[in-house]
Amino acid sequence: MDTDRLGRLQWAGGAAIVLGCLVLGLFLVFEARSDCTQYKAAGEALSHHHVATRLTHAISAERAMSALSAIDPNPDTARTIVTRRDRTDAELGVFKQMLVASFGAQGELQALMQRLEDRLGNARDTVNGVIALPIDQRANSHVADVIGAMFAVCDIMSGLRDKIGQAVIKSSPDVTSDILLVTTASALREQGGRLGASVVLYLAPSEKELERGAVREFDEAIGRIAVLLSSLTGVLGPAFGDADVERAASEMQNLFVATSVPLATQIVRGEAKAVYTSKSFADAFIPGLYAIEKVFEAIANASRRKIEAKRDAAYRKTVQAAIPTGAMLVISLAVVSIFRRRVFQPLAGAQEQIEAIARGDLAHASFKSKVASELQSLFPGLALVRDNQLQLERDQQRISDQFDRLSETDQLTGCLNRVAFLRRAKRVVEAANAKEIALAIVVFDIDELKWVNSAGGYVAGDETLKKTATELGHYIGEGDLFARYGGDEFAMLFAARDRYSALATAEAMRRHIEKSLVTFGGTKTTASFGMAFRACDSGLGLEQLMATAERRLVAAKAHGRNCVCAGDDDAPATATLPLGKPRNRPRNDRAQAARSTRR
């Protein structure tokens, strides 16, 4: 045996192993370094969007003070508007520097920037012109001009912010969720400002047309705020995982949702109009807007910390990849002739299994080569890790499925809750539009449930709601949606051949409740129904259907309860049916029930 040759072969093999280890280590180092660069770029991109959002908020704050200055000649107001303009100009300077440094000479962004500056200058000229007028010469049309001019600036800035957000998402997809959250909070701030401006205009002594316009603007802003709040509150709070965000969200709930919005609603509905002036209302309303800005700042800071943590982890990964690489090189050179067969080959096999586990390949594998005694426990340990990882994935999936079910289910009745119903119903209506399917929505509530709660306690009321959901479960067909819509109100969305078959189903449900349910003290349960039908080619949206059904539910209540109202005339619709069968009966039964239905 040529021992020299064998030795050279062993050292050659060892050198190859060392070289392989070195290449692998360098690959890990470069990969970690690439992650560092990526997260650094993501953090910078995120800061660009935050700069744009802060400028949006500064312009919104200046807009609010401009409206007040047109109404209130107080010197404090004049000083405040100067302060607001200084803040806007400072944020604008930072924004322009960022725009040039990060986006260069992109024509569309630069054009929007120039348009923003022009509109801002024109709006300030409008504000200055109104402020220069004596107070007795200022008309409400002047106030409306000021508000309109500043809103036009805000609209341009919102579009510019969104363009930058799109560019940031395109360059750094890792921050997509953060950008969407920040944009939602900023949009909520903007709609809150529009809500306040509409109330300020409403409070000013004005012509009827201006007052009606303010009410329309108020109603539109309230609707948008409800949608944005639903989007935000679904992800903020403890589940977001940041204490600052949780505190800011709680403060926004207290100051804006629970205080500012109800105050504005009371004023526009006439309940508190005589108590407030535009100035006193603004003083009470604006803290709610500041609370929304705090939510934005908290989300922005949390996003920045998250990106920085990922970047730091990538730095640590670089060091952790470099150190073992060097150690492995030294050790391999020292012991390659001894451990070539009994150590490195088993380690290579173990490495393959570890990489397979990391990739999610949890299939069992075995290593048949002779293994040193020091490594004999390695492969059973890997098998244990593989089994534990497999079990963990199963547990995570089960918990995720459980959470999804709980988040969509009303805990008392087991039906869908309001949020899940609206989300699913929107998809059903969109699909029906595409496939030209007729739909019906039934909204009903239990008559005199308040009396049941008073007489028998809330346990009796809860039992009535649960029985109602259980009894009507037989009327829910495949693809139908049935939900507890709130309190004692239920909603059902289902496909219907025509209006009369839909009415037949609603009437059958009403009769079933009247006949089958008994509440506290032996009193029969009844329910009032409002129904809206959407023909296959009508194109009506979910909001219109729900509004129609709820309006008709109110009409059913007004007509003595225990009836179905399916039209907008004075009398409720009725159906001359026997007690209805469940909706999953054969089609000929449905047709027969529809033929026997009348309004």
23-32, 121-130, 463-472, 563-572, range with the lowest pLDDT: 23-32
Query: Which alpha helices (H) appear in 499-539, and where do they start and end?
Result: 499-516
Shared-domain flag, residues 424 and 552: yes
Using CA atoms, how far apart are residues 1 and 14, in angstroms rounded to an integer? Answer: 20
Percent above pLDDT 90 for the chain: 16
Whether the predicted pLDDT of 362 surpasses 90: no
Number of residues assigned to the chain? 599
Residue 564: pLDDT band by 50, 70, 90 thresholds? very high
The answer to whether the beta carbons of residues 189 and 202 sit under 8 Å apart is: no
Using CA atoms, how far apart are residues 420 and 423, in angstroms rounded to an integer? Answer: 5
Contact residues for 587 (Cβ-Cβ < 8 A; gap 6+): none
Shared-domain flag, residues 318 and 423: no
Shared-domain flag, residues 297 and 441: no
Buried residues in 154-185 as b, exposed as e (16+ CB within 10 A)? bebbbebbbbbbebbbeebebbeebbebbbbb
At 314-353, the pLDDT tens digits run 777 777 667 776 777 677 666 555 656 665 556 556 666 6
Domain of residue 249, residue span: 3-325
CA distances from 144 to 54, 63, 67, 197, 202 (A): 25, 12, 8, 9, 10
pLDDT at 598: 30
- Asked whether residue 343 is assigned to any structural domain, the reply reads no
At 255-265, the pLDDT tens digits run 988 998 998 89
- Asked whether residue 485 is assigned to any structural domain, the reply reads yes
Provide the domain count of the chain.
Answer: 2
**Considering 283, 304, 325, which residue would you say is the last residue of a domain?**
325
**Considering 305, 325, 345, which residue would you say is the last residue of a domain?**
325
Nearest to 67 by CA among 150, 3, 170: 150
pTM over 0.95: no
How many Cβ atoms from other residues are within 10 Å of residue 106's Cβ?
14
The answer to whether the beta carbons of residues 528 and 553 sit under 8 Å apart is: yes
Say if residue 255 is exposed, middle or buried (CB neighbours under 10 Å; 0-12, 13-18, 19+).
buried
Shared-domain flag, residues 425 and 301: no
Whether the predicted pLDDT of 36 surpasses 50: yes
Q: Token pair 């729900």 is at which residue? A: 546
Token pair, residue 28, equals: 């890990």
Nearest to 279 by CA among 59, 69, 62, 61: 69
CA 76 to chain centre: 39
- Asked whether residue 315 is assigned to any structural domain, the reply reads yes
Whether the predicted pLDDT of 71 surpasses 50: yes
- Secondary element (H or E) of residue 547: helix 542-558
Shared-domain flag, residues 86 and 216: yes
Mean pLDDT of 509-536: 86
At 420-478, the pLDDT tens digits run 999 999 999 999 888 889 999 999 999 888 888 888 788 888 888 999 999 898 898 88
Shared-domain flag, residues 298 and 431: no
Query: Which alpha helices (H) appear in 340-448, and where do they start and end?
Result: 345-359, 378-408, 418-435
Torsion, Cα of 279, 280, 283, 288 (10° steps): -110
Token pair, residue 46, equals: 């995120």
Q: Token pair 């910390």 is at which residue? A: 305
- Asked whether residue 598 is assigned to any structural domain, the reply reads no
Question: What Rg value do the Cα atoms of the chain yield, rounded?
Answer: 34
* CA diameter of the chain: 115
Query: Which alpha helices (H) appear in 409-448, and where do they start and end?
Result: 418-435
Terminal CA-CA length for the chain: 106
**Considering 268, 290, 325, which residue would you say is the last residue of a domain?**
325
- Secondary element (H or E) of residue 145: helix 140-171
pLDDT at 92: 87
Shared-domain flag, residues 107 and 209: yes
Backbone angles phi, psi at 583, to 5 degrees: -70, -15
- Asked whether residue 94 is assigned to any structural domain, the reply reads yes
CA distances from 443 to 485, 486, 581 (A): 8, 11, 19
- Asked whether residue 357 is assigned to any structural domain, the reply reads no
Residue 377: pLDDT band by 50, 70, 90 thresholds? low
- Asked whether residue 388 is assigned to any structural domain, the reply reads no
What own/partner pairs with CB < 8 Å and gap ≥ 24 does 493-497 have? 493/421, 493/425, 493/428, 493/439, 493/440, 493/441, 494/439, 494/440, 494/442, 494/583, 495/432, 495/437, 495/438, 495/439, 495/440, 496/438, 496/439, 496/440, 496/533, 497/438, 497/590, 497/591, 497/594
Find residue 533's DSSP bridge partners: 440
Shared-domain flag, residues 422 and 314: no
The answer to whether the beta carbons of residues 471 and 517 sit under 8 Å apart is: yes
CA 394 to chain centre: 27
CATH number at residue 507: 3.30.70.270
